[in-house]
């Protein structure tokens, strides 16, 4: 089956630093990638949708200047949390899809900001 690799799986860093999370589709071309955030005991919430070669579409309430998304190729999207603060600590999950086919999810990144 389709494989999506997400890296890193866990990151701990100091407040104020920037963190980059990578999402790769290993065996298919991902025309669309999605970034979700999940707080403890909450559902996954879509943060943004990115299509290869174009700007990401952010959901209401998600700061585009804080959560920078790049989808420069059909196999790679990155999410950069800029100037991270403790309230940004969460579980971030990406998914990838090829033209409205079912999404395939990465294993997630647990981000802890001290």
Partner 1 sequence: KQEVTQIPAALSVPEGENLVLNCSFTDSAIYNLQWFRQDPGKGLTSLLLIQSSQREQTSGRLNASLDKSSGRSTLYIAASQPGDSATYLCALGGGSQGNLIFGKGTKLSVKP
| DSSP three-state, residue 3 | coil
From 21, 81, 108, 111, residue interacting with partner 1 (rule: CB under 8 A): 108
SS3 88: helix
**91 part of the interface to partner 1, by CB under 8 A:** yes
**Least spacing, CB of residue 57 vs partner 1, in Å:** 8
Nearer to partner 1, 6 or 75 (CB): 6
In which residue are the tokens 């104020």 written? Answer: 16
Alpha-carbon torsion angle 3, 41, 63, 21, nearest 10? -30
Task: Choose between 75 and 95: whose C-beta lies nearer to partner 1.
Answer: 95
Give the separation between CA 39 and CA 41, rounded to whole angstroms. 6
* Interface positions, 59-88, toward partner 1 (CB under 8 A): none
Question: With binding defined as CB under 8 A, does residue 105 bind partner 1?
Answer: yes
Q: Which of residues 9-68 bind partner 1 (CB under 8 A)?
A: 32, 34, 41-46, 49, 51, 57
Could you give phi then psi for residue 23, rounded to 5 degrees?
A: -135, 120
């Amino acid at each position: 089956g389709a494989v999506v690799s997400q890296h890193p799986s866990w990151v701990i860093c100091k407040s104020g630093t920037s963190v980059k999370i990578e999402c790769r589709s290993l065996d298919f071309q991902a025309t669309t990638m999605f970034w979700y955030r999940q707080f403890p005991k909450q559902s996954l919430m879509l943060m943004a949708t990115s299509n290869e070669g174009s700007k990401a579409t952010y959901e209401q309430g998600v700061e585009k200047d804080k959560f920078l998304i790049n989808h420069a190729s059909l196999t790679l999207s990155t999410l950069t949390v800029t100037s991270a603060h403790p309230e940004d600590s969460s579980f971030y999950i990406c998914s990838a899809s090829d033209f409205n086919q079912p999404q395939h999810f990465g294993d997630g990144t647990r981000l802890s900001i001290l």
